[in-house]
Structure 1
Amino acid sequence: MGGVLTRLSDTAEKLSSSENWSPRRLLGAPHRLGFAVGAALMGLLALWWLAVLAAMALGLDPGWAVPPAPAHGLLFTLGFMPAFMAGFLFTAGPRWLALPAVAARTLLAPLLQFGAGWATVLAGVHAAALLAALGMALVAVGWLRLLLRFAALLRASRAPDRLHARWLLAAGAIGVAAMLLACRALARGDVPQLRAAAQLGLWAFVLPVFTVAWHRMIPLFAATALPRLEALGERAQLLLLLAGPALMGLARVPGLPRWPLAALLALAALALLALALRWRPPAGDAGRLLRMLRGGFGWLGVALALQALSLGLQAVGRAGLGTAPLHALTLGYLGCTLVAMATRVAAAHSGRPLAIDRAGWRLYRLLQLGVLLRLAAAPGLGGGAALLAAAAAWAGVATAWAWRQGRWLGLPRADGRAG
């Protein structure tokens, strides 16, 4: 993996010269600013978790004011995704809503507040739960400010199609509720409530936002990739894509009958995997972006299948698959989709080719290895070594991507155009 990261760093150096990089250019467009904050938080949290696991493997105690498992769940669910969402929303949103572009400067204060809040939460996880609660309050208010700005855009729009914007606003509001619930849980030392906040954030905020954004991209490739899905009506498409994650969320509710839910999950998994297998992106460099999106879509089907199998094992009195289905969903589906979509937006708005180059493809392959290692560790097949290796792979992906795309965000457009 060290050789991969070295080649990625060398490629980044060839693509741009450091003397042209300027933080002022991050204010040139909402995606530059939002992605920069998201990438910085993603890299920071990946390195933090790798350091924590390495310390525990060596028998060292990092010191915890908040238990590690719920802290990890909260930070990795809500810690960096909303910043990427903000960059996407305020770049694509005005075009969807037929409104003028949004000035990135108007987003600077809430995004900095959001980032500072998570840095405070991270410190509080080890130092004091009340400090983490204070940081969580800053996070919630920062995200609320961004959401109110987007709500104002939606109110001002007279565009005939506002379906996606409305869904995103509704999911974002649930995100505020999840952040406030986490703040309350940290202040009260209520671990079950903290877990509930992370679950609410994942199933009712992050996953719906990703699914709606994914649905919005269907017309870009449906004619050659997903003709059957494209033939459905717009709302039917969206409900179909939301159904699988919703079933997975229901599987985590105690007391529900296992066999019927396992059967529904298996059917949903077969449908999604069949679509992924029918997807035929173009060969060569030009098809890499679509292959990355297909990989994420495939991981969603795998996650549903693993959840169905886990429920079936539990129904016959055997141990389930632990967190394997959850990590196939988060690290596989969400991770692949985030890397693909954010790379596409960063390339398109920096004047670079939309085709994924070799360095980007190596990152994607390293992410696949990380997902497989994490799945091996979840049921106990690979033990702590597999878990540490998975964390190292994700840290490599997160930091290399943040370095490479972060440099693009602070550079002039490669094609010489303004913006």
Structure 2
Amino acid sequence: MNVTEKLDRIATEPFRLFFPLGIIASMIGVLLWPATFQGWIDYYPLEAHARWMVLGFAGSFIVGFLGTAGPRLLGTKPWSVPELVLHSIMALAMMGSLLFNLIPTADLLAGLWLLGVLSSLLVRTFFGREDIPPPGLPLAVLGIAGAGLSGIALSMGSALNFSLPTYLFLRLLYFQGLLWLPILAVAPYLLPRFFGRSSPHSFPESTTIPDGWMRPFIESIVAGLLLIASFALEAWRPGPFGMILRSVVVALHLTRSVPGLVAWSKVNALGLAVRWVLPCAVGGWLLAVVFPPLRIGMLHLMFIGSAGLLMLAVASRVILGHHDRHDRLASPLKWFHWVWGLLIFTAATRLTSDFVLEVRITHFIYAAILWVLILAFWSWKIRRELKQPPFEEGVIKSRCPRRRQAATRSGKAGHPTAPEKGISR
């Protein structure tokens, strides 16, 4: 495959570039804390860290997903190579600014980057579309537009001289709106597949609005507007009500629109991980309500244990699916239990550091190192998954004679004398 063919393939499936870019960005973002405590950098990295994680990590995953899935959902052509190059340069420029702690410049570039990605999506929505988008997709547009405009506005904050409530509202739209509006948009369409359920946001291909489409569309718009209202409430009416409203909106919308999310049915590790997303999100917001002085630490349960975990679960499905390894998605994927378990432990390590000041610095360092190790492990296992033999339900996979005999005796092996082709390498 020559360079032109590789670029065309990446433009068709931008996750191939933006997922690894997001992994690298997040590793840099968390390692700023050990670097600070060791005296390797001469600035306090709170603002840079937040942007590396939300814009660099989550932003790259969101752009990679929507850049790949958006054209398919709309039945239109994928990104062109010039679009891919432009969006990549803008993302790298934003991250380059963060490397030098140039926060206003990074915000401006992030805003332009997100609005550029949005324009690619909107052009395909209004021109050359052969299918109606899922009813929740406008929320992704709202989230990217809101974050993009907020980034540009925050970059000019010293000149515009915002009031404190306006400044807080822009930050909430920038850091939490970019995460949760796209999540509310995509979750009803994608997440039911993790539980073997059909999606209430999936409709037959059509260029006109099909029957039943308007109701989930209206529900999605209401949820999105209420989410934004929770940001405004938190900014202009300081107190618990903004985060309480946010918790209620997210909980109601996801439980209503994602069949299987709140259930006891048996699922593989990816499905079980996704079931932790809602309790971690609501738990993070409510802990921030209960412990207002420790708000930033408490919200890490939402950022890491919910949004971060969801990004990795969805990315796992996207990568395996686009490599035609749907058989592996049907497998137990037991190694992903380590991913979600350690991610929640990392969030707990970070939030507990604010309760015991004596261990605060060491907990910051442990949480940062854990995050890096988790992403390195996830990346390694995903690469190995692509090389695994086909998964066959009931075929014994282990090379260990004891395990094969035990599985045969317990009746867990559907084919106790199955040929060796079902055994993992």
TM-score above 0.5: yes
User: Which residue of the other structure, out of 383, 405, 410, is the alignment partner of 2:360?
Assistant: 383
User: Which residue of the other structure, out of 41, 44, 62, is the alignment partner of 1:62?
Assistant: 41
Provide the C-alpha distance between the structure 2 equivalents of 1:25 and 1:412, rounded to a whole number of angstroms.
20
Find the counterpart in structure 1 of residue 98 from structure 2.
Answer: 122
Find the counterpart in structure 2 of residue 216 from structure 1.
Answer: 189
Count of matched residue pairs: 369
Structure 1's 273 and 32: CA in aligned 2 closer, same or farther, altered over 3 A?
closer
Q: CA deviation at 1:103?
A: 4.6
Provide the C-alpha distance between the structure 1 equivalents of 2:287 and 2:121, rounded to a whole number of angstroms.
37
- What residue identity is the alignment partner of 1:149? S
Structure 1's 348 and 218: CA in aligned 2 closer, same or farther, altered over 3 A?
closer
Q: CA deviation at 1:98?
A: 2.7
Mapped contact 1:273–1:298 kept (Cα < 8 A): no
Structure 1's 243 and 367: CA in aligned 2 closer, same or farther, altered over 3 A?
farther
Structure 1's 198 and 386: CA in aligned 2 closer, same or farther, altered over 3 A?
same
Mapped contact 2:234–2:243 kept (Cα < 8 A): no
Provide the C-alpha distance between the structure 2 equivalents of 1:93 and 1:108, rounded to a whole number of angstroms.
14
Provide the C-alpha distance between the structure 2 equivalents of 1:269 and 1:98, rounded to a whole number of angstroms.
29
User: Which residue of the other structure, out of 133, 140, 154, is the alignment partner of 1:168?
Assistant: 140
Structure 1's 155 and 262: CA in aligned 2 closer, same or farther, altered over 3 A?
closer
Structure 1's 159 and 351: CA in aligned 2 closer, same or farther, altered over 3 A?
closer
Find the counterpart in structure 2 of residue 3 from structure 1.
Answer: none
Mapped contact 1:43–1:399 kept (Cα < 8 A): no
Measured against aligned partners, the alpha-carbon deviations of 1:80-127 in whole angstroms (never above 9, x if no partner) come to 323222222232222322334x156343212321332133212320xx
Superposition map of 1:43-54 within 5 A: 43-50=24-31, 52-54=32-34
Provide the C-alpha distance between the structure 1 equivalents of 2:229 and 2:219, rounded to a whole number of angstroms.
16
Measured against aligned partners, the alpha-carbon deviations of 1:281-312 in whole angstroms (never above 9, x if no partner) come to 425xxx222111111122122123324423xx
- What residue identity is the alignment partner of 2:321? A
Q: CA deviation at 1:163?
A: 3.1
- What residue identity is the alignment partner of 2:20? A
Structure showing the higher helix proportion among its residues: 1
In our comparison, the structure showing a higher alpha carbon Rg is 2
The answer to which of 353-362 and 185-194 deviates more is 185-194
Measured against aligned partners, the alpha-carbon deviations of 1:189-234 in whole angstroms (never above 9, x if no partner) come to 999898765432123332101221112225536786999xxx9951
Structure 1's 390 and 413: CA in aligned 2 closer, same or farther, altered over 3 A?
closer
Percent of residue pairs identical: 17
Find the counterpart in structure 1 of residue 235 from structure 2.
Answer: 253
Greater relative contact order (CA < 8 Å, ≥ 6 in sequence): 1
Q: CA deviation at 1:322?
A: 2.5
Q: CA deviation at 1:363?
A: 2.2
- Is the counterpart of residue 143 in structure 1 residue 114 in structure 2? yes
Q: CA deviation at 1:332?
A: 1.6
Find the counterpart in structure 1 of residue 85 from structure 2.
Answer: 109
Structure 1's 26 and 334: CA in aligned 2 closer, same or farther, altered over 3 A?
farther
Structure 1's 242 and 190: CA in aligned 2 closer, same or farther, altered over 3 A?
closer
The answer to which of 172-181 and 22-31 deviates more is 22-31
Structure 1's 325 and 414: CA in aligned 2 closer, same or farther, altered over 3 A?
same
The TM-score with structure 2 as length reference comes to 0.71
Q: Secondary structure at the match of 2:235?
A: coil
Structure 1's 376 and 138: CA in aligned 2 closer, same or farther, altered over 3 A?
same
Structure 1's 364 and 236: CA in aligned 2 closer, same or farther, altered over 3 A?
same
- What residue identity is the alignment partner of 2:183? F
- What residue identity is the alignment partner of 2:220? L
- Is the counterpart of residue 323 in structure 1 residue 296 in structure 2? yes
State the Cα RMSD in Å.
4.3
Structure 1's 196 and 46: CA in aligned 2 closer, same or farther, altered over 3 A?
farther
User: Which residue of the other structure, out of 281, 285, 288, is the alignment partner of 1:304?
Assistant: 285
Q: Secondary structure at the match of 1:163?
A: coil
Q: CA deviation at 1:78?
A: 1.5
